[in-house]
Structure 1
Amino acid sequence: MTEHNLQPAEVANGCFKEAVCIDAGRIYDSCGDKDCLEDLRVYFTECNQRVIDQAINVRSRSAEVISVFLDVEAVPFNRGFYSVDMTFFFEVTVDVYSAPNSCPCTISGLAMFDKKVILYGSEGSVKIFSSDYCDDENDYQNRPTRNLPKAVCQVADPIVLSARLCEPCDCRPDPCCCIPNNICSRFGGDLGGCTPGKILYITLGIFTIVQLERNVQMLIPVYDFCVPSKECVSSSDNPCELFRRIQFPTDQFFPPRAEDLNCDDKPPYPRGGCC
């Protein structure tokens, strides 16, 4: 096997000073997207559902991403490409008014959204064995990884765009859904979906970045953040026009450098320095 002797390298333009060999997750493909999630049904516990049934009006307060379940499967007859199926779980907090000029009651519920994208993840034919260090114990042997790339999803805090109440007779049919137990435990009980009663629909705006990566050994210099340059392939064909005009919040995904924060002028200048 050929040996590689790595020496520090001075570069004329000052981009980097040395090349290093690292074992890291290489991003083979990624996409960034913003979705307007219209009329997501909010599921409540039995106690909170009784509060919704007595409501005459609601006002949205906030929404938070609880978790994202990801599943990666190879795309048939398309070597190297994989479909990433994602299920988003949101905790939605609203103020519920049961009478005019009354104090609101604040409750939380669950909203869900499914999304699929197709990305390139390359191919591999090896099994990877590794262990984790345990203090005062034998190293724990991890299970060998599957021959699939790892999917990573980054989500910014959702923007609550609207919320509305709907009488049971006015709502579209909504089949009962199976909600994982670990999600239900966050709300302190089962979340219903089949019991007749008023239904709350909420519209959210979310920004996401989805990546497919594999662990490889690379000799690399360091330049800058790798911001996706294309949009995700989404099944939604009816986005909100207002939400489309909101710029992608790059700084929330890629925090500024220390020198960017030392600028005396406020607000800070865009990434790249004070000048």
Structure 2
Amino acid sequence: MPEKVVPGPVQDSACIREAVCIHTKKIFDSCKDKDCIEDLRLYPTQSSQCAIDRAVSIKPGSAELLHVYIDVEPVSFNRGFYTVDVRYFYRVTADAFVGAARPVEISGLCVFDKRVILFGSEGGAKTFSSQACFGEMDEQELRKSGLPSAVVEAVDPIVLNMKLVDVCECRPCDCELTEIPPCICSCFGSDLNFGSEGKRVYVTLGQFSIIRLERETQLLMPVYDYCMPEKECACGSCCEEDPCELFRQVKFPVNEFFPPNAMGCTDGGKREPDLPGCCRK
């Protein structure tokens, strides 16, 4: 039997010392999604709109997920289930080609809404804490104290396509955005153009996300021991040695000159930089 149990797979011979009651968040339901979001309207900055109006073509750039707004409401016809309304805010960049000149980088806002229904169980208890709370009470939180918490995990989307169209070719279902959080607008450095005149840009994004509903609860868990760090903190002076000496200890990057035929690791997926031990992060 090992002398000390460490985090990871537990052997049958491991000794459980006690059972403890912990307070944590339990996941009641979750889902993963791979959304192909077609023809999202790009709301560019004012300077970007000037370049778009003169552009003859456009080249896709990148997209960054700025913020996700989440709202949870109970489903009236199915107890224990809740609708989770999610609004994604993206900052999208692209290159606009104006004649034979060099491309002009443009940026703007895209917004995507989606709704899922998940099971979140039922609970009517109101939870209060002695932790310091600055400011006044949040009335909206008081009204929704019995609801589960929704969590959205998402990565930056992939720009799949981008279209430049004249205003006469715009989609009839386009709706003008009027309420954008100030914190989102401040991410662009200048005012956004929400008007209906001039050329428009439509973006197709690929979004991966995981959505889950959680509730705070108490669980009985087995305990093996206190979790004490085993790794010692590296001294700050060990990396102040002669840089040429440190460089001599670095292995030659063969794969940079001779790329491997297949991607993958032969050491179980764990690769560390070939640096001196005390300088590894």
With normalisation by structure 2, the TM-score equals: 0.69
Match of 1:227 in 2: none
Structure 2, unaligned runs of 5 or more:
1-9, 224-263, 271-281
Match of 1:204 in 2: 205
Identity fraction in percent: 48
Deviations 1:132-166 (A, max 9, x none): 358xxxx9897657110000000012111111101
3-state secondary structure, aligned to 1:21: strand
Q: Distance in 2 between matches of 1:24 and 1:34?
A: 29
Cα distance change on mapping 1:17 and 1:54 into 2, 3 Å: farther
Cα distance change on mapping 1:164 and 1:23 into 2, 3 Å: same
Match of 2:111 in 1: 112
Q: Distance in 2 between matches of 1:164 and 1:115?
A: 22
Aligned pairs for 1:245-256 (under 5 A) are none
3-state secondary structure, aligned to 2:42: strand
Match of 2:192 in 1: 191
Cα distance change on mapping 1:125 and 1:165 into 2, 3 Å: same
Deviation at 1:14, TM superposition (A): 5.8
2:153 partner letter: Q
Q: Distance in 2 between matches of 1:270 and 1:17?
A: 31
Q: Are the counterparts in 2 of residues 132 and 142 from structure 1 also a CA contact under 8 Å?
A: no
Deviation at 1:267, TM superposition (A): 6.1
Match of 1:79 in 2: 79
2:193 partner letter: G
The answer to whether 1:57 aligns with 2:40 is no
The answer to whether 1:29 aligns with 2:29 is yes
Q: Are the counterparts in 1 of residues 27 and 214 from structure 2 also a CA contact under 8 Å?
A: yes
Deviation at 1:93, TM superposition (A): 0.9
Deviations 1:37-87 (A, max 9, x none): 011110012222111111111111210100000000000021110000000
Match of 1:125 in 2: 124
2:34 partner letter: K
- Indicate the structure (1 or 2) with the bigger Cα radius of gyration: 2
Deviation at 1:96, TM superposition (A): 1.3
Q: Are the counterparts in 2 of residues 129 and 142 from structure 1 also a CA contact under 8 Å?
A: no
Q: Distance in 1 between matches of 2:193 and 2:15?
A: 56
Q: Are the counterparts in 2 of residues 46 and 191 from structure 1 also a CA contact under 8 Å?
A: yes
Cα distance change on mapping 1:39 and 1:141 into 2, 3 Å: closer
Deviation at 1:270, TM superposition (A): 5.7
User: What is the count of residue pairs matched by the alignment?
Assistant: 214
Deviations 1:18-40 (A, max 9, x none): 54321111111000010000111
Q: Are the counterparts in 2 of residues 16 and 221 from structure 1 also a CA contact under 8 Å?
A: no
Q: Are the counterparts in 1 of residues 167 and 196 from structure 2 also a CA contact under 8 Å?
A: no
Deviation at 1:220, TM superposition (A): 2.8
Q: Are the counterparts in 1 of residues 88 and 111 from structure 2 also a CA contact under 8 Å?
A: yes
Deviation at 1:95, TM superposition (A): 1.1
Match of 1:236 in 2: none
Deviations 1:82-105 (A, max 9, x none): 0000000010011111113x3111
Q: Distance in 2 between matches of 1:63 and 1:140?
A: 35
Q: Distance in 2 between matches of 1:14 and 1:161?
A: 52
Deviation at 1:113, TM superposition (A): 0.4
Aligned pairs for 1:1-275 (under 5 A) are 13=12, 17=16, 19-100=19-100, 102-133=101-132, 146-173=145-172, 174-178=174-178, 179-220=180-221, 266=265, 269=268
2:120 partner letter: G
3-state secondary structure, aligned to 2:73: strand
Q: Distance in 1 between matches of 2:153 and 2:32?
A: 9
Deviation at 1:221, TM superposition (A): 5.1
Deviation at 1:125, TM superposition (A): 1.5
RMSD over equivalenced CA pairs, Å: 2.5
With normalisation by structure 1, the TM-score equals: 0.71
2:181 partner letter: P
Q: Distance in 2 between matches of 1:69 and 1:109?
A: 18
